[in-house]
């Protein structure tokens, strides 16, 4: 909040002594020019903070947006330093940085979708405050539930499993087996392989009654999802307020899920464009390897050149000397790389014993102890310490590896590599020491690296800020974009393939895809074509949303929405 403090006042010049004034006057016109120079540069230095704060994603602009939209009546115009946001609005999570980004999303959504019609009815802001209170209660309850979810297994095992199912179903449905008169609709085959009631019946593409029926079923499904979430998270007094729950349900089901997942997010061109932007961000953050720079420099310095006649008697002698030098430097470099890798492996294995265990020990209550002691049958009674221990999948056995192998077509392109990796996986799981099994040395090392570099909570504010800047540029709804033509969509897919190839080293491209730039681009485009049908993409996106909701709220997997509402309101 230091940036919100008032600017320090300029030092007064009224107390300058007469001696210094006379000294300045005696300097003549040269001193006048020197005094005028700071005055010219003054406005430039003062405008620098304004230019820095003009970024709509900056904290200062975000705070201004939140205050103006969510708490206009608490502006406290008479104070130089307004009260912090966490003193005005209810906390959403346990992190102020995350709250700032979440409140920015809420402010934009309320301003664009609620104020546009609510301010025409009444200028009262109490209704908006009640909506914010409901959202805050839901986010705090969600944070507590997230702490109980195995994020590692969700991200690396269950979500990649859905991607694997999507890739299999898409390639099977779009693989022509019969000539043109006998061919079937690929969407019908895909829907039969991954049935989802919300996306039935399969639309025929003509906009007839089947398409309208599918749209209605999809809208009902979204409303049921949101109503189920509200039935679990909201307190009873807020759940009884039909007006608030209806408005919040419409905001999430139609404006967020409907316009997002059911709308543009499932379009192939938008997915390819999003992958392109992610690849560009990754490419910008990848530092250039200093080892590659030194290697290129050494190769350029040791490159072959025309030897002077007075130094070498023959060209053969020079070639022998050049090959010896090149071999020496290559051996030295490979030895250094091998030594560094061995040192890193030894240190990592030595430190793995001090890493925390992935298996959480169960909390044994006093009632459980009494129940265990009161059991009459000592043989059939299960030990208390092993009753509630959840089984976790080893990192090397999670579905992310098989999903990546299927997406990249390892079995077809490099069957020897797929077999080698499968053999190494089997050896790590069942070999001596079971280093790759749950809580093994390799399993602990991989889990620690994932928790430190991938699932680090400190990255969440930056991620939310980046997503907000992409979805809501300048903190407003982006102008409706024209749907690209099929030719433009193909150009977007090609650009995405070229961006992905730029992240892969040239030698790896040659080994995996073969020679030829056009051939490599075509191979990557075939991989990206798995997201080429919006109807099939909806199955994947809705499956991801449903999986996350069920993991956060297991009650929805056990009871229906109507049963939960009846239980809460009775």
What is the Cα Rg of the chain in Å? 32
Residues 334 and 327: their CA atoms lie apart, in Å, by 11
Q: What angle do CA 227, 230, 232 make, to 5 degrees?
A: 110
Q: Give pLDDT, residue 80.
A: 59
Nearest to 245 by CA among 366, 135, 87, 98: 135
Give the pLDDT of residue 363: 47
**Pick the residue with more confidence: 19 or 499?**
499
What confidence score (pLDDT) does residue 81 get?
67
DSSP 73-139: GG--TT-SSPPPHHHHS--SSS-HHHHHHHHHHHHHHHHHHTHHHHTTT----HHHHHHHHHHHHHH
Say what the pLDDT of residue 291 is. 43
Q: What is the pLDDT of residue 540?
A: 95
Q: What is the pLDDT of residue 36?
A: 40
At residue 538 the predicted structure's pLDDT band, cuts being 50, 70 and 90, is: very high
Tell me the C-alpha distance between 500 and 524, whole Å. Answer: 8
| Residues 275, 422: Cα–Cα separation, whole Å | 29
Mean pLDDT value across residues 209-215: 88
Higher pLDDT, 4 or 283: 283
Tens digits of residue pLDDT in 545-570: 999 999 999 998 888 888 888 888 87
pLDDT exceeds cutoff 90 at 275: yes
How crowded is the C-beta side of 206, counted as CA atoms within 13 Å? 4
If pLDDT is split at 50, 70 and 90, which confidence band does 314 have?
Answer: low
| Mean pLDDT for the stretch of residues 320-347 | 84
Identify the pLDDT of residue 146.
93
Q: What is the mean pLDDT of the chain?
A: 78
pLDDT at 294 over 80: no
Per the model's pLDDT, the better-predicted residue between 358 and 528 turns out to be 528
User: How high is the pLDDT of residue 364?
Assistant: 43
pLDDT of 401 over the 90 cut: yes
Whether 269 shows a pLDDT value over 80: the answer reads: yes
Give the model's confidence band at 248: pLDDT under 50 very low, under 70 low, under 90 confident, else very high: confident
| Burial category of 451 from C-beta neighbours within 10 Å (exposed 0-12, middle 13-18, buried 19 and up) | middle
pLDDT recorded at residue 320: 74
Mean pLDDT, to the nearest integer, of 84-105?
90
Backbone dihedral region for residue 205 (phi beyond 0: left; psi -120 to 50: alpha; all else: beta): left
Say if residues 178 and 473 touch (Cβ distance below 8 Å).
no
Per-domain residue ranges of the chain: 58-148+453-481, 149-283+483-569
- 22-81 pLDDT, tens per residue? 444 344 444 433 444 444 344 444 444 444 446 777 888 898 899 888 887 765 454 556
Residue 200 near residue 226, CB atoms below 8 Å: no
Q: What is the share, in percent, of the chain residues with pLDDT greater than 90?
A: 33
Model confidence at 485: pLDDT above 80: yes
Residue position matching structure tokens 């040192």 = 343
- pLDDT at position 387: 42
According to the model, what pLDDT value does residue 501 have?
Answer: 93
Q: Which phi and psi angles does 180 have, rounded to 5°? A: -55, -45
* 183/302: higher pLDDT: 183
| pLDDT for res 109 | 87
How many angstroms separate the Cα of 459 from the Cα of each of 55, 96, 150, 466? 20, 13, 18, 11
Residue 135 near residue 248 (C-beta atoms within 8 A): yes
Per-residue burial over 343-361, b if 16 or more Cβ lie within 10 Å, else e, is eeeeebeeebeebeebeee
Task: Decide if pLDDT at 298 tops 70.
Answer: no
What's residue 74's pLDDT?
Answer: 63
CA distance 516 to 524: 13
- pLDDT of 386 strictly over 50: no
Report the range of poorest mean pLDDT among 168-182, 193-207, 422-436, 547-561. 168-182
Contact in structure between 137 and 233 (CB atoms under 8 Å): yes
Contact 146, 175 (CB under 8 A): no
What is the average pLDDT across 348-355?
78
CA distance 121 to 123: 7
**pLDDT reading at 289 higher than 80:** no
CA angle at 141 for the pair 136 and 142, rounded to the nearest 5°: 95
The tokens describing 373, both together, are: 């002691």
Q: How far is the C-alpha of 499 from the C-alpha of 494, rounded, in Å?
A: 9
403 contacts 167 by C-beta, under 8 angstroms:
yes
Q: What confidence score (pLDDT) does residue 372 get?
A: 45
Q: Are 556 and 564 in contact (CB under 8 A)?
A: yes
| Residue 313: per-residue pLDDT | 55
In whole angstroms, how far apart are CA 434 and each of 154, 181, 342, 358, 428? 23, 55, 20, 15, 6
Q: Which residues, including other chains, have CB under 8 Å from residue 488's CB and lie 6 or more apart? A: 269
CB-based burial, 469-489: b 16+ in 10 Å, e otherwise: eeebeebeeeeeeeebeeeeb
How far is it, in rounded angstroms, from Cα 479 to Cα 21? 60
280/277 Cα distance (integer angstroms) = 5
Return the minimum-mean-pLDDT range out of 62-71, 254-263, 281-290, 430-439.
281-290
- Evaluate whether 102 touches 92 at the Cβ level (below 8 Å): yes
pLDDT average, residue stretch 223-228? 91
| Angstrom distance (rounded) from CA 496 to CA 279 | 8
pLDDT digits (tens, 9 = 90+) for 100-158: 999 999 999 888 888 888 788 877 778 888 888 888 988 999 999 999 999 999 999 99
Cα angle 138-144-149, degrees, rounded to a multiple of 5 = 115
Predicted confidence at residue 130, as pLDDT, reads 84
Token digits for 437? 């099994």
174-192 confidence digits (pLDDT tens): 887 766 666 788 999 999 9
**Would you give the DSSP letter of residue 488?**
H
Q: CA-CA distance, 165 to 280, in Å (whole number)?
A: 28
Provide, rounded to the nearest whole percent, the portion of the chain with pLDDT above 70.
77
């Amino acid at each position: 909040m230091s940036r919100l403090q008032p600017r320090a006042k300029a030092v007064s010049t009224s107390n300058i002594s007469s001696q210094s004034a006379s000294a300045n006057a005696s300097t003549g016109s040269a001193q006048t020019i020197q005094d005028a120079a700071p005055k010219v540069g003054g406005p430039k230095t003062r405008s620098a903070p304004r230019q820095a704060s003009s970024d709509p994603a900056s904290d200062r602009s975000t705070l201004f947006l939140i205050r103006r939209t969510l708490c206009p009546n608490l502006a406290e115009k008479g104070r130089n330093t307004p009260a912090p946001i966490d003193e005005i609005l209810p906390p959403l999570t346990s992190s102020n940085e995350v709250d700032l980004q979440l409140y920015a999303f809420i402010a934009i959504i309320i301003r664009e979708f609620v104020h546009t019609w609510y301010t025409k009815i009444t200028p009262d802001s109490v209704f908006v405050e009640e909506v914010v209170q409901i959202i805050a209660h839901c986010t705090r309850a969600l944070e507590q539930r997230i702490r109980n979810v195995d994020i590692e297994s969700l991200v690396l095992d269950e979500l990649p499993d859905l991607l694997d199912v999507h890739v299999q179903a898409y390639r099977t449905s779009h693989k022509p087996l019969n000539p043109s008169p006998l061919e079937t609709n690929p969407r019908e085959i895909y829907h039969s392989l991954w049935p989802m009631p919300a996306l039935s019946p399969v639309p025929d593409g003509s906009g007839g009654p089947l398409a309208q029926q599918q749209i209605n079923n999809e809208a009902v499904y979204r409303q049921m999802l949101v109503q189920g979430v509200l039935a679990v998270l909201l307190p009873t007094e807020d759940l009884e307020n039909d007006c608030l729950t209806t408005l919040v349900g419409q905001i999430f089901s139609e404006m967020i899920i409907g316009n997002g997942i059911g709308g543009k997010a499932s379009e192939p061109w938008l997915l390819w464009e999003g992958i392109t932007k992610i690849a560009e961000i990754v490419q910008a953050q990848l530092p250039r390897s200093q080892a590659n720079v030194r290697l290129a420099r050494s190769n350029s310095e040791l490159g072959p050149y025309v030897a002077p006649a007075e130094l070498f008697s023959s060209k053969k002698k020079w070639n022998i000397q050049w090959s010896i030098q090149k071999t020496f430097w290559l051996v030295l470099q490979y030895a250094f790389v091998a030594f560094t890798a061995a040192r890193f492996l030894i240190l990592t294995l030595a430190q793995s014993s001090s890493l925390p265990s992935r298996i959480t020990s169960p909390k044994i209550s006093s009632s459980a102890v009494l129940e265990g002691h009161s059991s009459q049958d000592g043989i059939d009674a299960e030990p208390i310490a092993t009753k509630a221990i959840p089984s976790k999948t080893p990192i090397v056995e999670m579905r992310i590896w098989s999903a990546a192998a299927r997406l990249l077509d390892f079995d077809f392109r490099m069957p020897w590599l797929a077999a080698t990796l499968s053999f190494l996986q089997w050896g790590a799981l069942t070999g001596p020491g079971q280093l790759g099994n749950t809580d093994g040395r390799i399993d602990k090392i991989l889990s620690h690296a994932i928790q430190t570099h991938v699932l680090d909570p400190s990255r969440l504010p930056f991620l939310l800020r980046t997503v907000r800047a992409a979805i809501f540029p300048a903190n407003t709804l982006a102008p409706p974009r024209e749907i690209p033509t099929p030719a433009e969509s193909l150009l977007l897919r090609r650009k995405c393939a070229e961006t992905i190839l730029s992240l892969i080293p040239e030698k790896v491209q040659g080994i995996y895809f073969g020679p030829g730039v056009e051939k490599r681009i075509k191979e990557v485009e075939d991989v990206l074509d798995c997201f080429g049908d919006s109807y099939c993409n909806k199955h994947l996106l809705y499956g991801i949303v449903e999986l996350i909701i069920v993991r956060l709220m297991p009650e929805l997997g056990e009871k229906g929405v109507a049963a939960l509402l009846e239980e809460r309101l009775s």
